[in-house]
A and B are shown apart, each in its own frame.
Chain A
Amino acid sequence: MKRYSQIFFLVFILAFLSSCSKFEDFQVNPNNPTVADPSLLLPAIERSAFSAISADAALASRYLVYTQSASNAQYYGWQRSGMGYGSITQVVKMEQEAARTGKLNYRYIGKFFRAYFIINMTQTFGDIPYSKMMQSAEFSNFSDSSAIRPPYDKQQDIYHGVLDDLKIASDSLDAGQIAIGGDIIFGGNIERWKKLVNSFTLRVLMSLSKKEADASLNIRQRFNDIVSNPSKYPLMSANNDNGQLPYYNITGNQYPYFNNNSMKTDYYLDSTFVDILQEFQDPRLFVFGKPAPASPLPATDFDAYDGLGGSAPLAYNTAKRGAGMASQIADRYSYEAINEPSVLMSYAELQFILAEAAVRGWITGDADVFYKNGIKASMRFSNFNNTYSEDDMDDYISQPGITLQPGNEIEQIITQKYISMFMNSGWQPFYEQRRTGFPEFETSGSGILNGGIIPKRWMYPTDEYNNNRVNVENAVKSQYPGGDNINGTMWILQ
């Protein structure tokens, strides 16, 4: 009996000592990879860069009015915005995987994305970290103060750097190199990438129009270098060159406001936008909005449409809506899974940029031709379900009032560019208005905040104050005498 117990016990001890797996076996996460082809990083970067549909931008740009509550975007009461360096981190990782696998084209596409994300941020805030950014991600540097708390660069230096990067990207992208995969925008077509990079470069140069005299930037020369050398620097030549993200009827791949409750009930056209479209009977009104419910007129009658006041108090707008006298945004924005693509930059926008450059004398060429190309391209892009015909478009464009009028060219071009960017191209229409003053954004209503002033920027985010305080405070001091507020004028606007 006793012996049995002892044997029994010996078995326990052996069982205990012969334990299962080694500790080293658990040092690999079986659920997630640690190395990858750069093609697997590209889609998320593209989604982030090409997702350019923002209802807030539409409210701030007087396209739309919000009726659920008083919107800070619409009434100009906003405060801070966030930074987007996380997207550049993905670009860094893609560049590293590209270097590891010897696939160089990803590197140059990466340069474009860096430029794109940086421009977005500097347009939002002014000075931002640039020359010392990404030290932690790129070199695993977590010890140097300048790596974990990068200093801010002057906006003019940032533009220098971005323009140089864009040039390198365009010069170096090579269809002869290993093809790129995972490209949900151009399907790996390097030529179309080059067109986008060059066209985007022109957008950046045009955004510097107030700095025409800056010799070191030399924007005229840079602009001309591209436009005058189409074989080396091809530009977008039609709508199918648009830098755009198409939507699919797959959960998560649908139009961002598809089935969005708020988009179904709370977004109405701004009356100033309705006025612009009604002035020359722009048929795009029929694809942007719905007739006011109380109007007995057919949907194809321009007078069936009416808007709400972007600066009017909420109660005025909700009462007008309740009376059935306001045009909602068209159903397609909330009831169509695919609706229209999200455009980072369109062929139409390029044509408007060229028209403005011609008016400004940066390039030679007929501004009116560029301008009308742009209108036509925009009308074709927006022609949901073929609501209007080619003839309708031509009728619209051929009106004498549409043709460029001497002395008014810039206003006309920017206004057409504005129409073309309805619910698209991110905050670009707001920035164009900020740069040129066109079209005039209405601020006279009593609902307006910020003293009736259209803000020029956003305050730096709280996380920078928490994590990079000294640098952000210095940046504010050197740029904005009034402190970090939404009315400061950044360098490109001076």
Chain B
Amino acid sequence: MKSTALIALLLLAQMIAFAQDITVSGTVRSAADNSLLSGVSVVVTGTNRGTTTNTEGRYSVTVARDAVLVFSYLGYATQEVAVNGRESVDILLQQGNNAELGEVVVTTALGIRKQQKTLGYAVQEVSGETMAKTKVPTPLSALTGKVAGLNVRNSTDLFRNPGISLRGRVPLIVIDGIPDPDADPYKINADDIESISVLKGTAAAALYGALGVNGAIMYTTKKGKKGRLNVEFNSSTMFQTGYTVVPEVQTIYGNGDQGRYAYVNGSGGGTEGGGWIWGPKLDQPDASTPSGFFETTQYNSPVDPLTGERTPLPWISRGKNNIKNFFRTGVLSTNSISASIGTDKGSFRVAANHVYQKGVVPNTGVNNSSFSIGGNYLLAPKLSMDAKLTYNREYSDNYPTIGYGPPNYLYNLILWIGPDIDIRDLENYWLPGREGLQQRNYNLSWYNNPHFIANELLNGYKRNNSFGQVTFDYRLNDDLSVKFRNGFNQYASNADVREPNSYIAYDYISRGNYSASLANYFDINTDLIVNYKHEFSDRFKINLTAGGANAYRKYESVFTTTDGLTIPGFYAVSNSINPPRSSNVRQERRTASAYGMVDIEALGFLYLSLTGRYDKTSTLPVKNNGYFYPSAGLSAVLSDVLKLPEAISFLKARGSWAKVNTGFISSGDPYAHLTTYGIGSKWNNVPSLVWPTTFISPDLVPATVQSGEYGVAVGLLKNRINLDVSYFINKDYNNFVNVTQSQASGNTSVLKNANVYLRKGWEFVVSGWPVRGSDFKWETTFNFSNVHRWLKEATDNPDGYIGQIKEGQRTDRIFISESRAPDGQAIYNSNGMQAYTPYGQYFGYSDPDWIYGWQNSFSYKNFSLNISVDGRLGGLIYSTTNQKMWWGGTAPGTVTSYRDDANAGNSTYVGPGVVITSGNIEYDSYGNIISDTRKFAPNTTAVNYISFMQTTSGAMLNNYFYYSGSYLKMRELVLTYNLPGKWMKKVFNSASVSLIGNNLFILSKMPNVDPDAESDNLQTPSMRSIGVNINLRF
């Protein structure tokens, strides 16, 4: 169906004639050694039409007879050639000192294209090409390690958003100039992206106003280009074939507690050992039993029909490979087809994409389909229009629940199952005779059968996204133009949960439930922009932009859940035992703005840009809801005016200053400035309300980020080595803060403007061409960056503290309450267990010291190899997985002789550390030690090893489960073979086959979990993906 429509559109496009045009083709070679150059940019002056040379140095482009072609290639002098009616134009490019760095054009705020050299702030652009081959679930993940200052935290779990922070905060997502505040990373397909421009700072995104206060990630989607029909087919299939990181569990001891276990009824009580994995040793010979092994009753014991007693079964390790036996091979398959065509009057592009993910957990998967159409047309000599519409549908019948707890299959698979259980035996997950009512498992009060979870606890999600824009551009004369743009984002989503009978949650056992939440979202952004530019002389140019904008968004949702199901397994709201519970939310928000920008280019090397913006927003008290804020940026291309040593081919210094105000107190609640009752729960159907204990100040003003940014860009050795350095310092003040006060006042806090923070950081990008021969080329880019946040001023605390953080300290300090001696040794109580402090004590920092990424691209003739590695250095990550493994008894480290002693009833374990023999420690009210007269002696109290682990998790043996977040990951490896032209027989323009590897291996200090996500609350094992990409262009 969709292919028929596509062909029809293509035919339509073909009918547009090219009366005046000719097709020019030729080869491009290096003047130095006559080698063929591939990837040379060929652009028709005055248009955005163009192409690049193929691997054999050939290009072909349809142009007007009088067109001028511009050939440019990194490291070579740009050359302009008039066609003059010729059909063949061969070019020799001179290697040379052309300031390519100065010619780079990037997309800036509001979609305005600017030369990078004119910018006073950092912008880094990532080409969509880099995402064409390697496939990850979202384009955001594809940015991992590629942008200095951008921290992408990839989840190993299926259908979860990657966490992103740019200079320590979450940036705005912009698609084709239209802000997407909802920022669903799944709604845009990587194959539709032409380029991604990352506006790193407050100054860069100042024109987006409050939304852009934390910078922006701007997607520019692909558009039709003037020229002949271009059809592209791109297909990748990746298989999750192995584990990059997988938890390793012990296989020596089974379920139970204190070395004892006997199944009674699955309640976990009594001889079942409370659900622990601290049971008897497995595979122990016992001559007195029929099997020759120790035997005890188990969940699958046959029941003697006469006595009703369970028959003991041998206690042997059937489940050594439970983790691997449960998972299956995941698949990520992406297919896209697009077609584009264009004439002098306009162009258009249509595309269809589909992404299918088969989860590694049985019965999970996600589908994601997109259709888009976009184009532009010269409606009248002075009036042009550009429009794009994308429809996207995400749908999953079931995706796994994450986080520590019974709905997560990992909770039941890694932490709370003994190797006495064979996971494959649990595939029959209903209790015989009680199908649909009672799951079958080795424990019926704490844990769910993982197969039962995968097949019966179903999280469904469907979401329809539409988004797009229409822009009219009216060019009154050469200097003056007016642009009118309307863009929108819309979605409707339906999330539902089917909860089967006997499903075990923390605080209830389900009698079946069905819940559904429906949501509708719509936003529209309208901009009217007037632009005037004038060149007074070569040495003085001015560009004025003035605009008005209106942004409106609306969100509505309804949530309904049953309270029990009358008919088991019939998932409908009307099947509820008690009356269903429902709630709904309606939200609207509006912002109106006026803004202006002045760009001045002076003396041929100085670029000054000033912006100002006035916002009026519905999210503040009316008396303070209008506010103005400015920014300024200066760039000086010193290499254009100074006589520099020959080695320095380009030198630019830049600086910018901005102040951006935001009136959005909460991104999720446009009414956060209004005090209302909260809706309480019902008691026996009697309704209730609760008055908030946070008082909202009527004098709220916008929060402000004041940013200073300084940078240098240097090109060395004819720009073969390039270096870009940025330093920024952001002052966040007038923050919207719940300032706490004594709860005895009747209010626990006041929402007001308070506190001052500083965010400071460095960003480095080094790139270059270590090898640039005619056949073999190696391009490399290395970036690293950091950002930290300090408390500058605690405006409402007379002692200068917020919690335990004092003015001048970093805000990512970690405090632990386990008591430690000054030398770091654990302190024990008289009972031999870990002692605790009344105030948390400083333990380390959570932010990474540095994040880094290194991209390499090698090419040799028709082969190219791309290797991308990245990682972080420093920063502590708390690991719930490891803590629970030690606590529950599945950690391999718990296999010790002490454990055997405990199983035999002996208390032999002495926790490493000290006890206090005399003296005292005193703290001030913020937990600082003001006097410490304690004397210590080694701890000598022997305790039961199992009790010790159940009480302390052995935290002191494992750095209290804070692990260094440092890692190096082999993120992507792509080996591409570009088919030689002679094979294509004019069927294809180009064709390539690639072998792809993703997430291939990791070096890290953290056991059992992948530190990529920068947090661990029981994560899916990190999988290695290997696959193939095929790219065909017709």
Say which residue of B267, B742, B947 sits within 8 Å of A468 (CB atoms). B742
Contacting pair B740 A21 (CB below 8 A): no
* Stretch in B318-326, B676-684, B932-940, B1017-1025 with 4+ CB within 8 Å of A: B676-684
Residues of chain A whose beta carbon lies under 8 Å from any beta carbon of chain B:
1-2, 4-5, 8-9, 12-13, 15-16, 19-21, 23-34, 36, 40-44, 47, 67-70, 75, 77, 79-80, 83, 85-86, 88-90, 92-93, 128-129, 132-138, 140, 142, 147-150, 182, 184, 246, 248-254, 258-261, 264-266, 293, 313-315, 318-319, 321-324, 326, 328, 446-449, 451, 459, 462-469, 471-473, 483
Say which residue of B268, B683, B689, B743 sits within 8 Å of A85 (CB atoms). B743
Is the CB of B285 closer than 8 A to any CB of chain A?
A: no
Q: What distance in Å separates the Cβ of A461 from its nearest Cβ neighbour in chain B?
A: 9
Say which residue of A68, A79, A250, A324 sits within 8 Å of B836 (CB atoms). A79
Contacts of A258 in B (CB 8 A): 507-508
Q: B583-622 toward A: CB 8 Å interface, digit per residue (1/0)?
A: 0111111101000000000000000000000001111001
Contacts of A32 in B (CB 8 A): 671, 676-679
Say which residue of B270, B482, B683 sits within 8 Å of A184 (CB atoms). B683
Q: What distance in Å separates the Cβ of B899 from its nearest Cβ neighbour in chain A?
A: 12
Contacting pair A26 B472 (CB below 8 A): no
Contacts of A473 in B (CB 8 A): 925
* Stretch in B38-46, B354-362, B379-387, B721-729 with 4+ CB within 8 Å of A: B379-387
Contacts of B950 in A (CB 8 A): 68-70, 314, 318
Give the distance in Å from the alpha carbon of A483 to the alpha carbon of B269 in the complex: 42
Contacts of B267 in A (CB 8 A): 264-265
Q: Which residue of A lies closest to B585 (CB)?
A: A31
Contacting pair B746 A88 (CB below 8 A): yes
Q: B511-536 toward A: CB 8 Å interface, digit per residue (1/0)?
A: 00000000000000010100000000
Give me the 3 closest cross-chain CB pairs, A-B, nearest first: A137-B746, A315-B944, A26-B618
Contacting pair B271 A322 (CB below 8 A): yes
Contacts of B506 in A (CB 8 A): 261
Residues of chain B whose beta carbon lies under 8 Å from any beta carbon of chain A:
256-260, 264, 267-275, 379-383, 445-446, 472, 474, 482, 484, 504, 506-509, 526, 528, 548, 550, 552, 563-564, 578, 581, 584-590, 592, 616-619, 622, 625, 670-671, 674-691, 693, 695, 697, 740-748, 750, 797, 799, 801, 803, 829-831, 833, 836, 838-839, 902, 905, 907, 922, 925-926, 943-944, 946-947, 950-951
Contacts of A43 in B (CB 8 A): 680, 683, 686-688
Q: Which residue of A lies closest to B549 (CB)?
A: A16
Q: Which residue of B lies closest to A327 (CB)?
A: B270
Q: What distance in Å separates the Cβ of B808 from its nearest Cβ neighbour in chain A?
A: 18
In the complex, 23 of the A-B residue pairs with CB atoms within 8 angstroms, ordered by the A residue number, are A5-B383, A12-B484, A16-B526, A24-B622, A26-B618, A27-B622, A32-B678, A40-B687, A43-B683, A88-B746, A90-B691, A128-B744, A149-B741, A184-B683, A184-B684, A248-B683, A250-B578, A265-B272, A265-B274, A321-B257, A321-B270, A449-B830, A468-B741
Contacts of B797 in A (CB 8 A): 466
Give the distance in Å from the alpha carbon of A324 to the alpha carbon of B890 in the complex: 24
Contacts of A248 in B (CB 8 A): 683-684
Contacts of A264 in B (CB 8 A): 267-269, 445
Say which residue of B259, B272, B472, B740 sits within 8 Å of A463 (CB atoms). B740
Secondary structure of the B contact surface, majority rule: mixed
Say which residue of A136, A318, A471 sits within 8 Å of B747 (CB atoms). A136
Q: Which residue of A lies closest to B839 (CB)?
A: A462
Say which residue of B260, B586, B616, B744 sits within 8 Å of A323 (CB atoms). B260
Contacting pair B831 A313 (CB below 8 A): yes
Contacting pair A459 B838 (CB below 8 A): yes
Contacting pair A259 B622 (CB below 8 A): no
Say which residue of A19, A20, A70, A324 sits within 8 Å of B270 (CB atoms). A324
Contacts of B829 in A (CB 8 A): 77, 449
Contacting pair A16 B691 (CB below 8 A): no
Contacts of A80 in B (CB 8 A): 838
Say which residue of A79, A253, A265, A471 sits within 8 Å of B683 (CB atoms). A253
Q: What distance in Å separates the Cβ of B827 from its nearest Cβ neighbour in chain A?
A: 13
Contacts of B617 in A (CB 8 A): 23
Contacting pair A29 B528 (CB below 8 A): no
Contacts of B507 in A (CB 8 A): 258-261
Q: What distance in Å separates the Cβ of B419 from its nearest Cβ neighbour in chain A?
A: 19
Question: Contacts A28-B674, A31-B585, A90-B690: A136 and B270 contacting too (C-beta < 8 A)?
Answer: no
Contacts of B902 in A (CB 8 A): 315
Contacting pair A315 B836 (CB below 8 A): no
Contacts of B581 in A (CB 8 A): 251
Question: Contacts A85-B744, A448-B831: A16 and B274 contacting too (C-beta < 8 A)?
Answer: no
Give the distance in Å from the alpha carbon of A313 to the alpha carbon of B258 in the complex: 13
Give the distance in Å from the alpha carbon of A29 to the alpha carbon of B587 in the complex: 8
Contacting pair A261 B446 (CB below 8 A): yes
Q: What distance in Å separates the Cβ of B755 from its nearest Cβ neighbour in chain A?
A: 14
Q: What distance in Å separates the Cβ of B396 from its nearest Cβ neighbour in chain A?
A: 26
Contacting pair A466 B925 (CB below 8 A): yes
Contacts of B592 in A (CB 8 A): 19, 23
Say which residue of A1, A12, A150, A249 sits within 8 Å of B745 (CB atoms). A150
Say which residue of B269, B508, B680, B745 sits within 8 Å of A147 (CB atoms). B745
Contacting pair A67 B838 (CB below 8 A): no
Question: Contacts A5-B474, A142-B695, A149-B741: A16 and B528 contacting too (C-beta < 8 A)?
Answer: yes
Say which residue of B271, B619, B686, B688 sits within 8 Å of A293 (CB atoms). B271
Q: What distance in Å separates the Cβ of B776 from its nearest Cβ neighbour in chain A?
A: 54
Contacting pair B740 A259 (CB below 8 A): no
Contacts of A318 in B (CB 8 A): 257-258, 274, 946-947, 950
Contacting pair A1 B695 (CB below 8 A): no
Give the distance in Å from the alpha carbon of A4 to the alpha carbon of B797 in the complex: 64
Question: Contacts A134-B745, A260-B507: A293 and B264 contacting too (C-beta < 8 A)?
Answer: yes
Contacting pair A266 B274 (CB below 8 A): yes
Contacting pair B742 A21 (CB below 8 A): no
Say which residue of B271, B693, B744 sits within 8 Å of A324 (CB atoms). B271
Contacts of B675 in A (CB 8 A): 34
Contacts of B926 in A (CB 8 A): 465-466
Contacts of A67 in B (CB 8 A): 274
Question: Contacts A264-B268, A467-B741: A134 and B746 contacting too (C-beta < 8 A)?
Answer: yes
Contacting pair B676 A23 (CB below 8 A): no
Say which residue of A16, A20, A136, A326 sits within 8 Å of B746 (CB atoms). A136
Give the distance in Å from the alpha carbon of A451 to the alpha carbon of B695 in the complex: 44
Contacting pair B275 A182 (CB below 8 A): no
Question: Contacts A136-B695, A265-B445, A324-B270: A16 and B616 contacting too (C-beta < 8 A)?
Answer: no
Question: Contacts A44-B688, A135-B745, A261-B506: A12 and B528 contacting too (C-beta < 8 A)?
Answer: yes
Give the distance in Å from the alpha carbon of A464 to the alpha carbon of B748 in the complex: 10
Say which residue of A69, A324, A468 sits within 8 Å of B951 (CB atoms). A69
Q: What distance in Å separates the Cβ of B728 from its nearest Cβ neighbour in chain A?
A: 32
Q: Which residue of B lies closest to A314 (CB)?
A: B947
Say which residue of A75, A265, A322, A324 sits within 8 Å of B446 (CB atoms). A265
Give the distance in Å from the alpha carbon of A92 to the alpha carbon of B506 in the complex: 35
Contacting pair A36 B484 (CB below 8 A): no
Give the distance in Å from the alpha carbon of A282 to the alpha carbon of B474 in the complex: 94
Q: What distance in Å separates the Cβ of A54 from its nearest Cβ neighbour in chain B?
A: 15
Q: Which residue of B lies closest to A448 (CB)?
A: B831
Most buried by A among B695, B743, B829: B743
Contacting pair B944 A469 (CB below 8 A): no
Give the distance in Å from the alpha carbon of A379 to the alpha carbon of B622 in the complex: 62
Contacts of A142 in B (CB 8 A): 695, 697, 741, 747, 750
Contacting pair B257 A322 (CB below 8 A): yes
Give the distance in Å from the alpha carbon of A321 to the alpha carbon of B690 in the complex: 44
Give the distance in Å from the alpha carbon of A26 to the alpha carbon of B589 in the complex: 7
Give the distance in Å from the alpha carbon of A79 to the alpha carbon of B263 in the complex: 38
Contacting pair B686 A184 (CB below 8 A): yes
Contacts of B272 in A (CB 8 A): 265
Contacts of B381 in A (CB 8 A): 1-2
Q: What distance in Å separates the Cβ of B218 from its nearest Cβ neighbour in chain A?
A: 23
